[in-house]
Amino acid sequence: MIGRAWVLLVRNPVILVPGIVIGGISAGAEFGLDALPMDRWVADFALFIVTLALALAQMAYVTGMAGAAWRGGIATLRDGWEALKARTASVAGAAALLLIIGFCAATLAPATFAVTLLAYALFFIYTMAAVVIGGRSPVAALVESASTALANVLPTLGVVALIVVIAIAGGALGSLAGRFSQLAGWLVAGLLQQVIVAYASLVVAGEYLQLTKRPTLL
């Protein structure tokens, strides 16, 4: 699964395009809001809303392309666009529920935050795949993700560990590039971030399709 996901990413580098474009839009929005004569708090809140909306759009787009890659070997921007059009409301609903659950979990169990965070990541890692690829409603997606993870703890834990490791490695490489040039560090970090997002989306989508026994051509 891990190796196949990398092969699919190399075969479909177009999966990186949505993140790069959305990242550029986000940077432009931040620059534009900074230039406007408004209260700092208002600007920060507006930036948060814009960034969240763009992140949700990227989530739906990239997950839709990842599902197409697993099912047919080829992903196109149209696959992502169709997923974005069809599932944006459900993605937003699922994201809202995840935020509420995460906040409640952190508040109720501050002493065991690390364990709570691991359980949160473990049980809800398939939520967006269930929404975008499985066509589930937000609540049904949360339930399916948790039940799938509970029935397949070790494979799911392996996916979570892999994503954490590559995220840490990507951050370290970006910091290393930043020692030579601030611009190089920013560019390397940005590109690595998109590679990590695309690869993680492929891994999660592939694992979701396999564990839920959904049809795939690969």
In whole angstroms, give the CA distance from residue 53 to residue 50: 5
The pLDDT value given to residue 215: 60
Residue 52 lies in a domain: yes
Residue 218 lies in a domain: no
Tens digits of residue pLDDT in 97-125: 988 888 887 787 666 777 888 888 899 99
The pLDDT value given to residue 111: 67
Residue 217 lies in a domain: no
Low-confidence ranges of the chain (pLDDT < 50): none
The pLDDT value given to residue 20: 86
Residue 135 lies in a domain: yes
* DSSP classification of residue 167: H
The pLDDT value given to residue 185: 65
Look up the pTM and report it.
0.84
Residue 94 lies in a domain: yes
Residue 47 lies in a domain: yes
Question: Domain limits at 36?
Answer: 2-211
The pLDDT value given to residue 183: 65
Our count of domains for the chain comes to 1
The pLDDT value given to residue 70: 93
Backbone angles phi, psi at 181, to 5 degrees: -160, 130
Residue 199 lies in a domain: yes
| Distance set, CA 166 to CA 19, 73, 169, 190, 193 (Å) | 17, 23, 5, 14, 10
